[in-house]
């Protein structure tokens, strides 16, 4: 995966701070611009689907490696949902424990971690991970448009690895209005030991950096 970028391009999307009566209009405009689809949904009363356990297929405890995982869900700009990810690959499967991070700094943990997997890994190290989790509003770029900080947002996420640490993504976020991920959604994982993993967060296999949210 390419990491040779001297500077990150900090793009700003359009700020939009609606009152609650304007919520539906603002989210509709925002999602349409991102290349996703808007679907009317029930209010945010969806409960968590629970947490699966990171399991080992061997006789001993599985060993995880810390990564920073970024999922780009919007096509028009390069914002991303960022997680601390403890990743374990063992016995032909991959498991992850994901801790959402505050969108404003990509350092502060928010909400509860979620363990997902195991998912089969092929001989090339590729996999498809599909899971649901609750992501706090403050971990999602521009989500405060649609929900108060601290609001758990139900998500349905699929990661399709093109390389062991990056690939394509799809899924949805449910604010009461469902935002489908844009058609160019991607993901990437960078070792957490990389000093630039958070300041210059990679979001795809080309080494593109995530933008920071508008102030």
Q: How confident is the model over 127-145, as pLDDT tens digits?
A: 999 999 999 999 988 754 5
Spatial distance between the Cα atoms of 160 and 140, rounded to a whole number of angstroms? 20
Averaged over 52-56, what is the pLDDT? 30
Question: Cα(63)–Cα(102) distance, rounded to whole angstroms?
Answer: 26
So what's the pLDDT on residue 169?
A: 95
The backbone torsions φ and ψ at residue 21, rounded to the nearest 5 degrees and listed phi first, read: -65, -25
The answer to whether residue 23 scores a pLDDT higher than 80 is no
pLDDT-derived band at 116 (thresholds 50, 70, 90) equals very high
Dihedral (C-alpha) 56, 121, 182, 214: value to the nearest 10 degrees? 50
Helix (H, G, I), strand (E, B) or coil at 64: coil
Backbone angles phi, psi at 20, to 5 degrees: -60, -35
Does residue 91 register a pLDDT over 50?
Answer: yes
Give the residue, 187 or 58, on which the prediction is more confident. Answer: 187
Q: How far apart are CA 100 and CA 214, in angstroms?
A: 19
User: How far is residue 17's CA from residue 26's CA, in Å, rounded to a whole number?
Assistant: 8
Q: Give percent of the chain above pLDDT 90.
A: 47
* pLDDT of 5 strictly over 60: no
pLDDT for residue 10 is more than 70: no
* Residue 62: per-residue pLDDT: 54
Residue 142: what pLDDT? 72
Our CA angle for 80, 18, 32, nearest 5°, is: 50
Give the DSSP letter of residue 204.
S
Cis peptide leading into residue 140 (ω within 30°): no
Minimum mean pLDDT range among 27-41, 42-56, 151-165, 201-215? 42-56
151: which residues sit within 8 A by CB, 6+ positions away? Answer: 44, 136, 137
Count of beta carbons in the 10 Å neighbourhood of residue 215: 6
Q: Which two tokens stand for residue 167?
A: 């690939």
**100/85 Cα distance (integer angstroms):** 9
> 18 or 104, which is more confident?
104
DSSP-derived secondary structure letter, 91? T
């Amino acid at each position: 995966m390419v990491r040779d970028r001297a500077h990150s391009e900090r793009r700003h999307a359009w700020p939009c701070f609606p009152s609650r009566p304007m919520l539906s209009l603002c989210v509709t405009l925002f999602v349409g611009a991102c290349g996703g689809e808007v679907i009317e949904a029930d209010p945010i009363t969806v409960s968590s689907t629970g947490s699966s356990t990171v399991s080992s297929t061997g006789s001993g405890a599985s060993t995880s490696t810390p990564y920073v995982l970024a999922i780009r869900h919007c096509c028009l700009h390069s914002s991303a949902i960022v997680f601390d990810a403890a990743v374990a690959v063992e016995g032909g499967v991959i498991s992850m424990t994901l801790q959402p991070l505050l969108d404003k700094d990509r350092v502060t943990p928010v909400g509860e971690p979620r363990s997902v997997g195991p998912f089969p890994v092929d001989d090339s190290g590729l996999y498809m991970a599909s899971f649901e989790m609750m992501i706090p509003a403050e971990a999602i770029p521009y989500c405060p448009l649609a929900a108060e900080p601290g609001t758990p947002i139900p998500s349905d996420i699929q990661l399709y690895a093109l390389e062991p640490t990056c690939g394509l993504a799809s899924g949805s976020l449910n604010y009461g209005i469902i935002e489908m991920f844009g058609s160019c959604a991607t993901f990437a994982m960078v070792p957490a030991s990389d000093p630039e993993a958070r300041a210059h967060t990679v979001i795809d296999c080309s080494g593109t950096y995530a933008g920071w949210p508008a102030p």
